[in-house]
Amino acid sequence: MTLSPAARFLLVLAVLTAAALLLPFVANRGLVFLAGVVAINVVLGMAFNLLFSTAGLLSFGQATFSATGAYAVALLLLRLPDIPFLLALALAAAAGALAAVVIGFVALRRTEGVYFAVLTLAFAELVHVVIAKTSFFGRNDGLTGIPRPRLGPIDLAQGQAYYVFVIVVTALLIACLWWVTHSRLGRSFRAVRLDPMRAAFLGIDVRRRQLEAFAISGACAATAGGLMGPLTSIVSPDLAHWGESTKPILFTLLGGAGHFWGPLVGAVVFSAVEYGTRSLAGASDLITGGLLLAVVLAIPGGLLGLAALLVARLRPNRAGNQPSPPAIPVASTAEGAAR
């Protein structure tokens, strides 16, 4: 039995969403809160991976977009308490896309080597300083007392309602990102990553495709970031710090950049490790750094890449029995993993 890629994706997404929704029945409030944060981080990782593995852009400034979304939602909820929450999220997405287009317009002039990474890093720090020094954004203290809004008749402040909302929205964002990755647009993104020159001489507008990937990634990251404020009731300039930009990179490489679900695996494993070592001062940095270094040096395909390798090794002589991939397979091997 072979399922189409879309059906297989929806099956996995449904199982994961159901598991996340059942969590409040078995776990305490602290863990459920953490799961909400992890769900948001999964989207941030996947939005980064769309740029990195699909469009071939190493962005070191993703915190700009998640922080843009977080601040947009926080400001809207605090200043316009009657705004429909979904509208606030949509505006956050638009703000993230706009920020991405403005930054991308400049940074994408230099996509080669480390220049793009450092340019995005510089812009992210610029945004960080501006947020931390502007009273409209609450300066270093950030914005506090962000309420959990209503969604029509549903009060998201009640019980686990907001957690459920976070899970549903992240599932929708993941579906969006999957669609972009595997659609005609995603195919042209991959063409641009694999060989920008060849893509250009097929009539593909390379700069525009890269800007589109950047805008989509920014919009998704901003929407996910927008979910953060009502969850934690505070947004602070730390959200825009460049250390925050490196987290999605870490999730992606840890889980496996060549795999759509890589950032999810990475975010869950990373959060579990961090949770397990939370009482040791400094240990979390050591463990995070050591883990990341080990992955890059030893298993550049990440945990999912390692798993795929092990599965292939466990059934060596059954190539003939394997279900044949669809006529146009959608493998998106990361550059590093392919080498």
Site for other proteins in 87-116 (CB under 8 A): 106, 109-110, 113-115
212 touches other proteins by CB under 8 A? no
- Comparing C-alpha atoms, which of 19, 179, 156 is closest to residue 89? 156
Specify the 3-state DSSP secondary structure of 150: strand
- Least distance (Å) between residue 246 CB and other proteins: 6
Q: Could you tell me the two tokens for 179?
A: 């669609």
242 touches other proteins by CB under 8 A? yes
Distance CA 26, CA 16 (A): 15
Distance CA 337, CA 339 (A): 5
Q: Which is nearer to other proteins, 145 or 318 (CB)?
A: 318
Q: Which is nearer to other proteins, 59 or 160 (CB)?
A: 59
Contact pattern for other proteins over residues 40 through 59, marking x by CB under 8 A: ------------x-----x-
- Least distance (Å) between residue 68 CB and other proteins: 16
259 touches other proteins by CB under 8 A? no
- What Cα–Cα distance (Å) separates residue 16 from each residue in 22, 103, 111, 261, 302? 10, 34, 35, 11, 20
Near other proteins in 278-317, by CB under 8 A? 281-293, 296-297, 300
Give the helix/strand (H/E) hosting 151.
strand 150-151
Hey, which residues does 24 pair with through a beta bridge?
none
- Least distance (Å) between residue 151 CB and other proteins: 27
Q: Which is nearer to other proteins, 26 or 281 (CB)?
A: 281
Q: Which is nearer to other proteins, 153 or 203 (CB)?
A: 203
Distance CA 223, CA 195 (A): 31
